[in-house]
Structure 1
């Protein structure tokens, strides 16, 4: 068994991983099995540098607030602001504190400096403005496309009307709504009217796009549409926060990944003429098979952003999962996928999942991790993964 396993693995290198992908790939999802581990971010940076220098990639998007990421992108693309500011305000969920994320922005800025604008790398976030304590107020996302449109079109609403419907931001960001849906304002009459306005704003952006892009720029229009898309997604999510049925948490997971998939779709379309995009997030947000987890003792399942975008892109979407063997005292059992891969002689390896599945002569059991923040790979679904990056120890 060990000999055959070694035949389907190579030492980790960008070229070894991309050799397993379809040449048609436009979006490569690189997943991580848990957050907060620098080794996975460092591996991502190494892969992205290879993709840029040898495979024609010109953008990266990560599991971070799509609106905050505009600040980080302005730094790497145009040198606007300082690196410290980009790290403080260009990321969500505390990701700006990660040294590897800082190195990513620094390297992208250095790469871009001598190059013309059309060759420069872009940085995106593809998560919604969803804080750990709950969703953000829809005010910034809603007022940005309004202000963009009102400069060029006659709109049926005033800014005062929007402010009145929105009310204080504290109504939307009340952390108590995370566990108590009755405190959410997501299904009030004002919220319902705001959802209609957000939908109308996006329709106006689309129907007047030839005039608007000529009067401003394609980039200005894209940012306005990003805000309008985010406003609609946020208001939909706030409505989900007000759901008092047992299906609430599962619905919120679906809504979040739907927002992610919408953002990935928009990024791929924007980058279509420039090159492919690398997307980095948790495996659960990028995998093709149905995602599962337990929250407060309740089993949840949903289709990930990767599964959704994969149905649109076909073989233009590829998924590379990352996992690991030992973490301190957490050592995988030999009968698990991670235990089997731990027999490889490489500290970091690229594994061909299709060939791996063909070599297996026994059924592997899913790993039960010691750390609840880590999600192991399901050995029954490795045929839906294009490549596995395995770290023996973290």
Structure 2
């Protein structure tokens, strides 16, 4: 056994499959303790094994740990149909997933998790059902359309004409027109929030207390979406400031999830680079920006616990050119921490308790160095070398645990 495996092996635990039961996940559960927010990361957005493993962890958190909010790295407004299906059974899993912004969600392993959550909710009191909340952003039309539909049923709050434009029209390409359009979105959101506060009894009587809370959050989501689109569209191509702003907005929405959570915690399903504490730590000049996980940790302290996933070899899906996903093979050697974890457990998958390992003085020298993890975005440069699909980070400062997988296959589209 290598020196790395011998050292980390004291804190590594085997997983016999990608669907471990609650007993097998006990070492993970011990690290969660009294966490109010658990970040479940993924090294790629297109790996079947990650989705199956995270699905099993999520089921454990729901069934055994009282988690009742699943926060997803997708748009808040477009996730409402998925939440409706999970909570009430209205609609279908496939239809709700098809409504989400990115292709990454429209896969068999995600559908299976959604169906499990729906089954779990059947027959439960409304206040004890799991809900799904999107924490990311897309286009102003999504929150504007949902707000308009709700207001049409509340006579006391007339639908502003500007809300129709926000719901029906695309964000203008012309800079001046775009500024005016997005300014109107922020103004409408502020005005509607005030009216919702004034006419809360009418909204509750016509709809429900939950719908009032949701409408008020949609106003904030509309503001966030306008702020983010203003920043990202002002620069041609990628804007690092907009990338970081998105994470700040996602962290804010996760905080709202905790404030309104009907149960004992929030599980956040997102990429490793978003759930981690600290900075993005990817091979880009601008990667020093604060992640969603860092902002959550600043706001919630030790109540936030983030976990990464990684793999040694295999394939995954991503988009290179156009809009259709393709299959890519992992390049370069496996990362040291993942290879050592899997060697130590002698299994196809394992869990490393990073927090406990980093507290062992015998491993001080190992944790003094930044360590690599694979990091593949939904969009990739097909000509980039292996180093462009990795992150190098302070493991103990970034994550509390790691789920390591030996070999992976691409996620399976619906």
TM > 0.5 fold call: yes
> What is the match of residue 58 of structure 1?
68
Cα separation, 1, equivalents of 2:390 and 2:407 = 16
Q: Do structure 1's residue 274 and structure 2's residue 263 form an aligned pair? A: yes
Are 1:6 and 2:9 matched, yes or no? yes
**What secondary structure, in the 3-state scheme, does the structure 2 residue paired with 1:343 have?**
helix
What does residue 147 of structure 2 align with?
145
- Tell me the residue number matched to 1:179: none
Distance 2:305 2:177 in 1: 36
SS of structure 2 residue aligned to 1:63: strand
Which among 212, 225, 229 is matched to residue 234 of structure 1? 225
Stretches of structure 2 lacking an aligned partner (at least 5 in a row)? 16-23, 315-328, 375-384, 409-414
1:35–1:190 distance in 2 versus 1, CA, 3 Å: closer
Q: Distance in 2 between matches of 1:325 and 1:211?
A: 56
> Is 1:284 the counterpart of 2:287 in the alignment?
no
**Aligned-pair CA distance for 1:81:** 1.4
- TM-score normalized by structure 1? 0.82
Asked whether the 8 Å contact 1:29–1:317 carries over to 2, the reply is yes
Q: Structure 1 211/78 Cα, relative in aligned 2: closer, same or farther at 3 Å? A: same
Provide the residue aligned with 2:56 in structure 1. 46
SS of the residue aligned with 1:18? helix
Matches of 1:152 and 1:257 in 2, distance apart? 36
Alignment partners' CA distance in 2, 1:280 and 1:364: 27
The corresponding residue for 2:119 is 110
Matches of 1:203 and 1:160 in 2, distance apart?
Answer: 17
The answer to whether 1:18 aligns with 2:29 is yes
Shift of 1:146: 5.4
> How many Å apart are 1:17 and its aligned residue?
0.8
Q: Is the 8 A contact 2:313 2:334 kept in 1?
A: no
| Residue in structure 2 matching 1:194, options 185, 188, 196 | 185
Q: 1:69 to 1:185 in 2, by over 3 A?
A: farther
Post-superposition CA distance 1:245-266 (Å, at most 9, x none): 99x7111112211221122112
Aligned to 1:265: 255
Q: Secondary structure of the residue that 1:260 maps to in structure 2?
A: helix
| Range that drifts further, 275-284 or 106-115 | 106-115
Report the CA distance shift for 1:190/1:62 in structure 2 as closer, same or farther (over 3 A).
closer
Of residues 244, 250, 254, the one that matches 1:254 is 244
Match in the other structure for 1:387: 401
- CA deviation after TM superposition for structure 1 residue 40, in Å: 0.6
How large is the Cα RMSD of the aligned pairs?
A: 3.0
Q: Is 1:123 equivalent to 2:132 in the alignment?
A: yes
- The CA distance in 2 between the partners of 1:118 and 1:244, in whole Å, is 44
Within the candidate set 9, 30, 46, 1:36 is matched to 46
Normalising to structure 2: TM-score of the pair? Answer: 0.78
Q: Mapping of 1:56-95 within 5 angstroms? A: 56-89=66-99, 91-95=100-104
Residue 147 of structure 1 and its aligned partner are, at CA, apart by 5.8
* C-alpha distance in 2 between matches for 1:106 and 1:267: 22
Shift of 1:109: 1.4
On the 8 A contact 1:249/1:300 being kept in 2, the answer is no
Q: Could you tell me which residue of structure 1 aligns to residue 301 of structure 2?
A: 314
1:297-332 per-position Cα deviation (integer Å, ceiling 9, x unaligned): x53432122211221211211111112223366453
Residue 159 of structure 1 deviates from its aligned partner by 3.1
Q: Does 1:375 align with 2:385?
A: no
Residue 322 of structure 1 aligns to a residue whose secondary structure is: strand
Distance 1:185 1:124, change over 3 A: farther
CA contact (8 A) 2:121 2:129 kept: yes
Using the TM superposition, give the Cα deviation of residue 32 of structure 1 relative to its aligned residue in structure 2, in angstroms.
Answer: 0.7
Kept in 1: contact 2:12–2:341 (CA 8 A): no
| Change beyond 3 A, Cα 1:66–1:374 | farther
Deviations 1:170-216 (A, max 9, x none): 444x6xxxxxxxx5567533432332222332344346546644553
**8 Å contact from structure 1 (residues 333, 367) kept in 2:** no
Deviation digits for residues 263-301 of structure 1 (CA, Å, limit 9, x no counterpart): 211211111x42212111001111111113456xx5343
Match of 1:341 in 2: 341
In the TM superposition, what is the alpha-carbon distance from 1:127 to its structure 2 partner? 1.4
